Structure 1
């Protein structure tokens, strides 16, 4: 269901938006403010007989000229002051209208209030004047004063009352007195009991006033008057967090009754995503996109769900499209797009996206840059990005050491990577994750004993760590013949995270080493499907080759090396197996 926007509501919202605009270069022009009320109403026509008879002496003419010239030159504050002064002198509604518009445009709300009071007094039937008056009163928290004007507008435009009630909650500022809003809503809707929109307005007001039970009662009343009405269904589900069976049943019934409703489908998608039903959530989002390819929430939702499902290309496509349609979202979505580009080994593009990150993710994105520059061979930029990282807190010091080690690995200098982490451990011996990281570089450098010692130290500090259990189990399986001990760690890790592709890969590789080829193949197939990484692919290819499926083994290696052409593990397997 598509709600018709109340013209009355649209005018009020335009008024509030204009009032919120600060003065300066971004302030709307006088002509823009003039046109705002006309989005809902035609320009007011004034009865010539009711207009004051102005004696245009030299002083008045000069004041008019000052106001007009100031407006034409963009000096809106001076123009507003001049026109408000004229409105006070003349009491002419036309002058007051112009004064009010210029005052709003210049952000001078006190002047706008004065001008609008003159305007409404001079032309009580002018709806744009009342609309602006209501906007200003609400902006100032003068709810009771706004009530008189709202009732007058309801009487003048009864056909707009219902859509107004559905949207009136958008008029209140975040600091408004919620109880006062509730009481106003109850009074305004008192005469409209047969109207489901009135009960909806009450429900929102009750909810905002922390009275959820009464909000539910009003929603039930609205749905009794109009069964499966979309706004009431969606709000009821929202209040219940979509977790209870009754809400889910109501949403399903509404979807069946109105299968083309994007808002209903989006609500179903959000609930599915919140409950980790990612496949179902993706289907909901894509059904919305099939009807409206540019629906922003569906694009972002489908993109994030695709990331969860490791559908990297699809995720990149959806999120890129959403930024193209809404460039303001770039700062928020940039970290995700950077991650996706990185996963696809599009390192220059990843750097570009990470550089656009804003807010809380900006610092995390900056941490990705040194390694990416090193991958691209841009070593001076890698060093510069590394120096730019903060080291004020303990966590920042840990992060920088880990990132510097990554840079040394990209430069194929494992000894410097190990040395970097050894220096960090000397400063921060209580930080377990440094031992974990150093173990990985020691393993790559061929120091199995050192890697094992670090992982045992890590597990002594964090005995329940799944990552630690997996890493130690994998090293024992890959570098030694202590398979029974490796089994202990990997089975324990698998029991905690049976869908983790990294653990599936480790356990599958152990089973291969143990000669359990069928079990190994099943585990590696599942791991590769969830995470088509080069090392996982290399393990899978080796098992396939051992089982005699050399064609598929070659296919897997070709796939992973097409994406990660420099992966050492996959290259070694291909050379050794002659594929």
Structure 2
């Protein structure tokens, strides 16, 4: 069912041409009526035919004129008169197309009440007409008369072939999305689709639709029940899986278990991919990687999954695994490099390969990958940035900065992009004060950008200016209290320096309100509890988060708490895991040096 086609078509034929066509259709309709019985005498036949013909001609002429005037008045800016003439012509002639045209004129003039009158008349005259049924259904929804739509919707579903029926069911949450009484809308749709709920072919889609509408009506428990019913009918249904994920995102109790049940079967690959994206948004990177690893095993043909997996592995300092995923992505994607979207993704893959080569100090290989990236995406700003980064890594910082500064900038956004790239080069070169100055120029272009202010705060910390860092973070929190990264950073910095520990815990707790499962905020929470002397509470938190995220910095803190609690063997094991995750992590290296610990050595 195309809810946006019939209602929105304007059919703006030339007025005279339309009138002629409609008049001809009147002729055709009468011509198709049953032939009269054979007359008893030849003498009576001609007179009888002449009378009918004269009457018909008179009606035709009158209808032709009425339709013509209706179209002309509509075209001249008087749709109300045009509508009235067209509806009158429809009623007198009994022609369905005239009812449709009258309804369209009313809709084009934004007169929903008039459209409702003509649509009702149309439906009354042609009760089995699907077009009339659709128009009336949609107009009633627009007018918020939801309780009158159940029968119309039920008729539409009953008259639709299965493919169209499924499309219609999927569209219902959007069609009813703007009605005021969403609880009533969900009830009406459930009533109208009652026959479909028991049908194995349409039941999963119908239950998913009802679940989405219940959720829109703030009936989370009902939405969860609908999702369960959909999965019971088809454990692999994509819509049911997506609804389960939507419920997880909404924090509905029990949704996690339902989604887990769905994913443990044979889930639709797009559901698993969407779940991986959700986990990434929640910064649950290790869990996202697990989902992507399963997805690339079950559906190795999905290029996007390989690319995201590569990005996660690179971020987690797993270059070998990242390289394997990138090679698979390139094998799948390079045959389609002519597609602009694929070319952009390939450029990103080549840039990641260049980063891996750069980190290995294989600069010729990195240069080769950059050349490939530039070939598939000429002029890409990211390629120039990585080219500059490669120069800086080889000790040519001045040349790298000149490359960035020499790039064209046609507007403020492009100028700011250049400044941020320049600041990043300086940051990587550990010239934090200079980086902060350049970043300050970028902030001047958008002074209310809290993300940039946060970056400047982090640079102030690296430059050994904690007072400036605190001032900037407090400014962000004052401007935007829900900017929880700032709250976490401020609390962690205080805890790490051992100052204002109660205040630090308050800031971290405030951040946890917004992201209660974020492993890095939980790391801050455990760290401040340890600093406050609550070692057992800290260990409980660390054990929970380290099971999911073996990050090197978390390992540094967790290991130190274990070490101070006397469990040195476990501390060594945790540090070893952290070193495997990121061998060069500075926080971990500093912790080991300060404590005089050597992972792997007997204790």
Deviation at 1:459, TM superposition (A): 2.6
* CA deviation after TM superposition for structure 1 residue 256, in Å: 8.0
- Distance in 2, Cα, partners of 1:263 & 1:399: 44
2:200 aligned partner? 228
Asked if structure 2 preserves the Cα contact closer than 8 Å seen for 1:439 and 1:452, the reply is yes
- Pair 1:538 & 2:556 matched: yes
Residue 235 of structure 2 is matched in structure 1 by 255
The residue aligned with 1:199 is: 161
- Cα pair distance change 1:461/1:267, threshold 3 Å: closer
CA–CA separation in structure 2 for the residues paired with 1:222 and 1:533: 49
Q: Is the 8 A contact 2:562 2:571 kept in 1?
A: yes
The answer to whether the Cα contact below 8 Å between 1:374 and 1:382 also exists between their aligned partners in 2 is yes
In the TM superposition, what whole-angstrom CA distance separates every residue of 1:543-578 from its partner, at most 9, and x where no partner exists?
A: 222122333333433443455444332222222212
Go from structure 1 to structure 2 and tell me whether the alpha carbon gap of 1:401 and 1:547 turns closer, same or farther (over 3 Å shift): farther
CA distance in 2, matches of 1:523, 1:357: 48
TM-score, reference length from structure 1 = 0.50
Aligned to 2:331: 324
Alignment-derived partner of residue 538 in structure 2:
520
What's the counterpart of residue 459 of structure 1? 477
Q: Could you tell me whether the CA contact under 8 Å between 1:435 and 1:458 is conserved in 2?
A: yes
Structure 1 residues 494 and 344 mapped into 2: Cα distance closer, same or farther (>3 Å)?
Answer: farther
In structure 1, how many angstroms separate the alpha carbons of the residues matched to 2:588 and 2:528?
18
Give the 3 Å change call, closer, same or farther, for CA 297–342 of structure 1 in structure 2.
closer
**How far off is 1:500 after superposition?**
1.5
Asked if the contact 1:370–1:403 (Cα under 8 Å) also holds between the matched residues in 2, the reply is no
Which of 302, 307, 310 in structure 2 is aligned with 1:296? 302
Distance 1:575 1:283 in 2: 33
Q: Paired residue for 2:405? A: 387
Deviates more, 1:471-480 or 1:486-495: 471-480
- Return the match for 2:467 from 449, 456, 472: 449
Please say if 1:414 is aligned against 2:462.
no
Q: Distance in 1 between matches of 2:309 and 2:189?
A: 34
Whole-Å Cα distance in 2 between the matches of residues 308 and 238 of structure 1? 37
| Conserved 8 A contact 1:330-1:357 | no
Distance 1:397 1:460 in 2: 28
Change in 2 beyond 3 A, CA 1:440/1:212: closer
**Structure 1, residues 526-548: CA drift from partner, whole Å, max 9, x if none?**
44444443333222222222122
Q: Is the 8 A contact 1:335 1:357 kept in 2?
A: no
Counterpart in 1 of 2:456?
Answer: 438
C-alpha deviation, 1:418, in angstroms: 2.6
Three-state SS of the structure 1 residue aligned to 2:469 is helix
Alpha carbons of structure 1 residues 222 and 436: separation in structure 2 relative to 1, 3 Å: closer
| Unpaired stretches in structure 2, ≥5 consecutive residues | 1-129, 135-157, 177-187, 216-222, 238-261, 337-341, 598-603
Residue 489 of structure 1: how far off its partner (Å): 1.2
Does structure 2 conserve the Cα–Cα contact (< 8 Å) formed by 1:473 and 1:489? yes
- Equivalent pairs, count: 382
Which position in structure 1 is the counterpart of 2:28?
Answer: none
- Please state how far the C-alpha of 1:379 moved relative to its aligned partner: 3.9
Task: Return the offset for 1:293.
Answer: 5.0
**Preserved CA contact (<8 Å) 1:483 1:510:** yes
Deviations 1:418-458, CA, capped at 9 Å, x for gaps: 33234445565444444322222222222222222222233
Are 1:340 and 1:350, in contact at CA under 8 Å, matched by a contact in 2? Answer: yes
2:570 to 552, 564, 577: 552
1:485-523, CA deviations, whole angstroms, 9 ceiling, x for partnerless residues? 212211111222121122122222222222221222233
Q: Structure 1 residues 473, 255: closer, same or farther in 2, change over 3 A? A: closer
CA offset at residue 331 of structure 1?
3.2
**RMSD of aligned residue pairs (Cα, Å):** 5.6
User: Where do 5+ consecutive residues of structure 1 fail to align?
Assistant: 1-177, 183-195
The verdict on how the C-alpha distance between 1:544 and 1:424 changes in structure 2, with shifts beyond 3 A counting, is: same
Offset of 1:466 from its aligned partner?
A: 0.7
Deviation at 1:345, TM superposition (A): 9.0
Contact kept? 2:236, 2:266, Cα under 8 Å: no
Contact kept, 8 Å, 2:307 with 2:329, in 1: the verdict is no
Contact kept, 8 Å, 2:432 with 2:459, in 1: the verdict is yes
SS in 1 for 2:496: helix
Distance in 2 of aligned mates of 1:256 and 1:440: 46
Q: What is the distance in 1 between the residues matched to 2:269 and 2:388?
A: 39
Distance 1:377 1:285 in 2: 37
Deviations 1:76-124 (A, max 9, x none): xxxxxxxxxxxxxxxxxxxxxxxxxxxxxxxxxxxxxxxxxxxxxxxxx
CA distance in 2, matches of 1:375, 1:411: 8
| CA 252–549 in structure 1, closer or farther in 2 if over 3 Å, else same | same
How far apart are the structure 2 equivalents of 1:320 and 1:457? 45
Residues 301-337 of structure 1 deviation map (CA, whole Å, 9 limit, x = unaligned):
9949988997978787556534423433463376489
Q: C-alpha distance in 1, partners of 2:594/2:227?
A: 59
Distance 1:483-1:324 versus aligned 2 partners, 3 A rule: same
- 1:463-478 residue pairs with structure 2 within 5 A? 463-478=481-496
Matches within 5 A, 1:361-376: 370-371=388-389, 374-375=392-393
Q: Relative to 1, partners in 2 of residues 1:203 and 1:556: Cα closer, same or farther, differing over 3 Å?
A: same
Which has the higher mean CA deviation after the structures are superposed, 483-492 or 293-302?
A: 293-302
1:199/1:218 contact within 8 Å kept: no
